[in-house]
Amino acid sequence: MPLDFSSTESNFTQFKKLVEGGSTDTKKINELLVLLKIAIIQASIPTEKDHNQQIVKETLLVREILECGALYSIKQKDIKAFDRFYAQLTPYYYDFQKYIQPSPLQYNIIGLHLMKLLATHNTPRFHAELEIIPDSMLDNPFIKYPLLVEKSITEGSYQKVLSSRSQVPSEHYLVFIDLLSDSMKEDIANCSEKSFKYLSLNEAQQLLQFNPQQLNDFIVKRGWKVQGDKIIFQSGSSSVEIPSQQLIAQTLHYAKELERIV
Amino acid sequence: MATKEVEMIDVPSSAAELKNSESGSKEVSSALTLSDLKKNVQLIEKGVDTKESRFITRVLRQTTAIRKKLNAKILYQIIATTFPESSRKASLLSYVKGNDGMDIDSSAGASSKDHILPEVEAYLQLLVVIFLIDQKKYVEATQCSTSLVELIQPNNRVTLNPLSSKIYFYYSLSFQHAQNIEHIRPLLLTALRTATLRHNDEGQATILNLLLRNYLEYNLVEQAEKLVSNTTFPEQSSSNQYARYLYYIGRIKAIQLEYSESYNYLNQAIRKAPQNSASGFKRTVNKLLCIVQLLMGEIPERNVFSQKILKTAMKPYFHLTQTVRVGDLTSFHQVVEKYSSLFKSDKTFTLIQRLRSNVIKTGLKKITSAYSRISFADVCKKLKFDGTPEDMMFIVSKAIKDGVIEATINRSEGYLQSKENIDQYSTQEPLAAFSNRIDICLKIHNDSLKAMRFHPDISKAETEKIAEVAKSIKQEMERAAEESSENGGDESDY
């Protein structure tokens, strides 16, 4: 069934208007989104042999629908939906780039996807995606930001991540920064346990960017000891255990092997 | 060689004469090549008759030598005499002919045969493809190789297998030179399926590598990774293909941050690579290996950089290694800046950018072993770090957590205090190291046992003799085992 171009287009303008206007009528938006998703399936795809005007026009529309949908899903904090939209968008960004003009939103969305990979701790995927991005685009603010965040995380400058909120290239990135900041705080706490002997409450508050109440909850959650105004960390010198199981297994293994040789 | 001799003798003679004798020796060598080719065609026919693919493999081995001597005239002659009249013959001849309006004896065009084996056909067309690639006529090469692939694909003949892997290789090569390698992906995927179904191991291995190369050419690491995880590399294939395959996996793993796995694969790739040739391959692998080692926090050995075939190619990597070893951020950035275009063309640039944190870590290691107590501001200065002491504190804190350095932080006064050197022998380290080595020794012993084979030519009586000896040894072993278990039993009784 071919795509009904005009009705899809009108549906899409309506959808776009509602989303961009910040409408709260989720029911109406979702209804439209379902219609648009069906339209996406019906749209034709450009090929080597056939990429005439009409097909290119449809492709451009589908791409715009997907992009809008992806941004909307982020606004709704529906990460899984964003993932699906992104998967659908990839051919439009990479494989069809011979037939259609690059989208102005392209790197915004790729950057968001990179942030998503960071927030879900999928660094292998993050680097694999990074390989596809051409060198010239690495300075693009939308790409540069996730790169900066990634660098800070591997280095250990967690606080930089927390304080980078003000530098986000678009509001959509805040969702992922929120997701990240929780795990960043856990990471800071993990590092602090190992590296500090003691830490005053004030300093801890600064490090973790908490208010006193949040800090108290956090201390309870992690089971830290507080003496006066200081948090005392257990120094890591717990008594060394002899790994008896492992030793027995090893010795038996040697005995077996030696018996085979002699 | 022949031309050189002629030149030396005829130095005083006129230029015209020299030219004459030169062309004469050329004729001789081309006649020789032609007869070589004819012999090869006969060998292929013999191979097909006896259904022995080793004859065909031999032909392919010789082709490397012939490749250098090929010219349009030889190809024209061999095609004209072996092909029956057909449209394929005409099209092949047109590829060869359009070259340099040379005088071709048209009477040689008359063919003597009315039938041709598909193997011979494929072989000759393969030669044309190679010739076109050598002549840098890439567009024609792609056309010619496409029609060649169409020719062999529907044919299910065991004797075509060794040829087909070569054919796919040159097919991909021609497209790569023509820079539209992505178009052949679907065809290669079907070819891979066909090769797998027909148990064409060599073809399967070649096509798998071609696909991986194709994906990695466009940096499609994910697709390449999925291909690797969904296929098995045929064990029977040649070690050259296996070396390539290992390199590709190593590359994928390096990008996905699995450095130790990548290190293993790359090391194996170097070992599997041919000893005396393939210096280009070795260079590429060594470059990547060097970066992976640095990322693992190890410093590559110096002799890697001083090997003759690697020396010049590895120089930028040598400088890079030096800066990482010293832990100096400024000079690290300088080296990266200086060679960035080279690193980009080597496709190691993104990996190198990850090295920054390693540089900081080695720097920190040095500082903690030299100072018992140092302020963060001084650490920043020493590492030439481009951030605040506060940032440095977080980095140090992570390094402590990761076990890179042994130290504690005093936050209120802002300094880093190193712990006293721990006695390594009070930890489990030595135990683990010994156990590791024992395991390696045992593995070598077991592997060498497995590798022992009885010679097939020894007569039956002799094998029986050997078997008897083995049997008596076995009995002795069993007895020994029993004794030792008895002893063990005794001990436990005490």
Question: Which residues 59-78 of A are in CB contact (within 8 Å) with B?
Answer: none
Amino acid A239: pLDDT:
57
**Cβ-Cβ contacts under 8 Å, A135 against chain B:** 344, 349
> Which residues partner with B410 through β-bridges?
B415
Q: Determine, for residues A195 and B438 on separate chains, whether the beta-carbon distance falls below 8 Å.
A: no
Query: pLDDT tens across B193-236, in order?
Result: 888 888 888 888 888 999 998 888 888 888 888 888 888 888 77
Q: Would you call B357 and A254 a contact, using CB atoms and an 8 Å cutoff? A: no
pLDDT at position B231: 86
Between residues 182 and 201 of chain B, which touch chain A (CB distance below 8 Å)? 183
Residues B384, B382: Cα–Cα separation, whole Å:
5
- What is the arithmetic mean of pLDDT over B177-192? 82
Kindly report the CATH class assigned to B371-421. mainly alpha
| pLDDT level of residue A240 (50, 70, 90 thresholds) | low
Given CB atoms, is B221 within the 8 Å cutoff of chain A? Answer: yes
Reported ipTM: 0.75
pLDDT: is B419 or A73 the higher one?
Answer: A73
pLDDT at B309: 80
Distances in Å between the Cα of B275 and the Cα atoms of A144, B205, B268, B287 are 44, 21, 13, 18
Q: Which of B91-95, B108-112, B303-307, B435-439 has the lowest mean pLDDT?
A: B108-112
CB atoms near residue A165 (< 10 Å) = 12
């095609």: which residue's tokens?
Answer: B79
**Closest approach of A254 to chain B, Cα-based (Å):** 8
Confidence check: pLDDT of B13 > 50? no
Which of chain B's residues have a Cβ under 8 Å away from the Cβ of A195? 396-397, 400-401, 407-409
| Surface of B (419-478) touching A: CB under 8 A | 426-428, 431, 435, 438, 442, 445-446, 477
pLDDT at A94: 82
CA angle A36, A37, A41 (to 5 degrees): 115
Domain boundaries, chain B: 32-95+117-180, 371-421
Give B249's pLDDT tier (boundaries 50, 70, 90).
very high
Q: What is the pLDDT of residue B87?
A: 72
Q: Does A250 touch chain B (CB under 8 A)?
A: yes
The predicted structure's pLDDT at residue B24: 63
> What percentage of chain A reaches a pLDDT higher than 70?
94
pLDDT band with cut points at 50, 70 and 90 for residue B6: very low
Residue A111 has pLDDT above 50, yes or no: yes
What average pLDDT does this structure show over A245-261? 88
B170 with B130: CB under 8 angstroms? yes
Decide if A128 and B398 are in contact by the 8 Å CB cutoff: no
Mean pLDDT (whole number) for A28-46: 80
Which range of A152-156, B110-114, B156-160 scores highest in mean pLDDT? It is A152-156
Question: What's the pLDDT band for A123 if we cut at 50, 70, 90?
Answer: confident
Question: What is the rounded CA–CA span in Å between residue B84 and residue B424?
Answer: 79
**pLDDT confidence bin for B15, thresholds 50/70/90:** very low
B12: its two tokens = 């005083």
* pLDDT score of B477: 73
Mean predicted confidence (pLDDT) in A80-108: 84
Cα–Cα distance measured from residue A172 to residue A166, given in angstroms and rounded to the nearest whole number? 13
